[in-house]
Structure 1
Amino acid sequence: MASEVGFSLQTLASIVEGRIQGDPAMIINGLNTLNLAGRGELSFFANPRYIHQLSESGAAAILVSSDYAHLVKNSAVIVADPYLAFAKLTHHYDWRRPAQPGISPQAIVDPTAVVHESAQICANVVIEAGVKIGANVYIGPNSVIGSHSIVGDACRLEANVTLYPNVHLGERVLIHSASVLGADGFGFAKEQRQWVKICQLGGVRVGDDVEIGASVTIDRGALADTVIEKGVKLDNQIQIAHNVQIGEHTAIAGGTAVAGSTRIGKYCTIAGMSGITGHLEIADNTHITAMTLVSKSIDKAGAYSSGTGQEPHQQWKRNVVRFRQLDELAKRVRKLEQTLAEDNE
């Protein structure tokens, strides 16, 4: 997609430490896919599945590994990892503008709050007592920053983000719209046939360079804090319950729910629609595939699955029936084994 920003191919190649095959002086105005890229646009080739598009692409230049550079009809930037190079270059074409210093006259800022002069506070933002807003922060329209919260330098909160009281963000945290950090955890004690609420007295701590997708909910701790460590990436529509701890650089895909007091290690990947029950320990470098239910702790790194893959509907129905018969079949097998053992005596 073209933008108002343009860089020479030489400049872009220098950013990703690439070697140019073609015209280093050409201006690249945007990035696009192999099949849609055209004049003035840069694309990338990282998946052999699309090799048929490589030689046919109208892209002005393509990020490509040395093994495939000979197939590029126009210019190429030869790099070790085209997808990583593409990721780095997207930052130079991002639609987000840097924070424009100033506080909208429609914002409400408590007199005890400290807002850095370089921060941008948009219309209808509410900043409560004792809040600290760091340098180059962007707070989008209609967002609410609860009392005694801290928003570190270079954070960006898009429109309609809510931080309850006592939520601390590190530096360069990006939170997308409609996410809520610090709502009450789901804590209740049973009294006869009624529930007694347990007031949630902890907070939320988020490390540096965390990204939180749209409509994510991260509950505050019951006593201690819920903790999201540095570099964690959370997709849209994820539920993180009270007192959960997520280790550095773990990535969790959309629709996943993590129950209270579970500790997830560093460098984990958790695919979409997974469920993790409470009070578990998940080892570093664990990889959980889509729709997996994790109901016991994982103490050894590896890949874990429990969801069933798709199959033709009629076959799926037959397998459901067989699944319901497993217990009876297991009893019959045990009985046969006992009979065979007795016959061999």
Structure 2
Amino acid sequence: MTHDTPSLTLAEIAARLGAGLQGDGERLVRGLATLRDAGPDQVAFLANRAYLKDLPGTRAAAVLLHPDHAETCPTACLTLDNPYLGYAELSRLFDPLAGREDAGIHPAAVVADDARLGEGVAIGPQAVIESGVELGDGVVVGPGCVVGADTRIGEGSRLHANVTVYHGVVVGARVILHSGCVIGADGFGFAHDGAGWHKIAQLGGVVLGDDVEVGSCSSIDRGALGDTVIGEDVKIDSQVQIAHNVQIGAHSALAGCVGIAGSTRVGRHCMLGGGVGLSGHLTICDGVQITGMSLVTNSIHEPGVYSSGTGAMENAQWRRNAVRFKQLDDIARRLHRLEKAGRGG
């Protein structure tokens, strides 16, 4: 069902954000846009000084910004010390999906007789809810989703179209799972007998904490014995692979194409840039930031910023450096001999 775009007065927005207001509080706005693109019925925001050049010419009804920039604003102002955080809240106020899903079970959905559904649950067409599933109040299950047997999903969570949650998974409150993500598939566990591979049954589960968000086409594998555990407020981008028995601490964030091998533990408040790879059975302490395309093969025990990927350069220069990289061990040995000779040893 299509819903109308919400309309709010500037006074209502200021009250919701806890922002200061300079200008006509009764002015009605219907959306959010950039400084450059906003029209007279939209709110713009300024959270990065690089866009100060766009402020004088904005046509927005109002601008959300830091109080330091209010004097140069040509229109009404909504002032906050952290305008980017205010922008995040403002974006949710104008989200056409937020809190506007019609409750009920679509006739084309399949829901097991013993599934327990909370108040205000919405289940879309072609969704399958298997035996023993518990859906909390206000849960939204989009079209084509599958929720496996004995899985529990907390209140206010949303599964966008074509999400698959396997059996025995625990999903917290207010979790968002985007289309195509798979939660609880088998971990990559096999034993080799010298001639071929023998599957190891994956007997654990997956636990997602409250306020987790998982991007499209990401996979979180179930544990081999214990559970794979994703802490509260963890944000996972699209096309991320998290292997069996991984644990990720609360408030961490993983950008696209991160891959984490089995049984690695990532601490709280960590940030992994795009394409980062973590080897298995590592420990990454709290407060670690790893920059994009880095490969981590050893545990990290001190907070800070870590990198291993090299930036792009002209191919000819890269080829020369690649040759020199292969020579580093020999160069180090020769340098050691020269230093030893220089010391008279």
TM-score by length of 2: 0.96
1:292 aligned partner: 294
2:96 aligned partner: 95
Q: 1:110 aligns with which of 105, 109, 112?
A: 112
Query: What count of residue pairs does the alignment treat as equivalent?
Result: 341
Give distance in 1, aligned partners of 2:37 and 2:320: 44
Q: In the alignment, does 2:278 pair up with 1:276?
A: yes
Unmatched runs of 5 consecutive residues or more in structure 2: none
Q: Relative to 1, partners in 2 of residues 1:95 and 1:4: Cα closer, same or farther, differing over 3 Å?
A: closer
Q: Is the 1:99–1:137 contact (alpha carbons within 8 Å) kept by the matching residues of 2?
A: no
Unmatched runs of 5 consecutive residues or more in structure 1: none
The more displaced of 286-295 and 177-186 is 286-295
1:222 aligned partner: 224
Residues 139-154 of structure 1: pairs in structure 2 closer than 5 A: 139-154=141-156
1:170 aligned partner: 172
Q: Is the 1:144–1:160 contact (alpha carbons within 8 Å) kept by the matching residues of 2?
A: yes
Cα deviations by residue, 1:205-242 (Å, 9 ceiling, x for unpaired):
11111111100100000000111111111011100100
2:38 aligned partner: 37
Residues 163-312 of structure 1: pairs in structure 2 closer than 5 A: 163-312=165-314
Q: Which amino acid aligns with 2:13?
A: L
Q: How big is the shift at 1:160?
A: 0.3
Quote the RMSD (CA, aligned, Å): 1.3
Q: Secondary structure at the match of 2:67?
A: coil
Q: Is the 2:43–2:60 contact (alpha carbons within 8 Å) kept by the matching residues of 1?
A: yes
Q: How big is the shift at 1:117?
A: 4.3
Q: Which amino acid aligns with 2:247?
A: Q
Q: Which amino acid aligns with 2:8?
A: F
Give distance in 2, aligned partners of 1:137 and 1:212: 16
1:333 aligned partner: 335
Q: Is the 1:240–1:258 contact (alpha carbons within 8 Å) kept by the matching residues of 2?
A: yes
Q: In the alignment, does 2:35 pair up with 1:19?
A: no
Q: Secondary structure at the match of 2:93?
A: helix
Q: How big is the shift at 1:263?
A: 0.9
1:8 aligned partner: 9
The more displaced of 324-333 and 289-298 is 324-333
Q: Is the 1:134–1:153 contact (alpha carbons within 8 Å) kept by the matching residues of 2?
A: yes
Give distance in 2, aligned partners of 1:49 and 1:319: 35
Give distance in 1, aligned partners of 2:211 and 2:172: 7
Q: List structure 1 runs of 4+ shifted beyond 4 angstroms.
A: none
Q: Secondary structure at the match of 1:42?
A: strand
Q: Secondary structure at the match of 1:223?
A: coil
Give distance in 1, aligned partners of 2:47 and 2:315: 34
Q: Which amino acid aligns with 1:36?
A: D
Cα deviations by residue, 1:268-293 (Å, 9 ceiling, x for unpaired):
11111000111111111111111111
Q: Which amino acid aligns with 1:79?
A: L
Q: How big is the shift at 1:317?
A: 2.8
Q: Which amino acid aligns with 2:9?
A: S
Q: Secondary structure at the match of 2:204?
A: coil
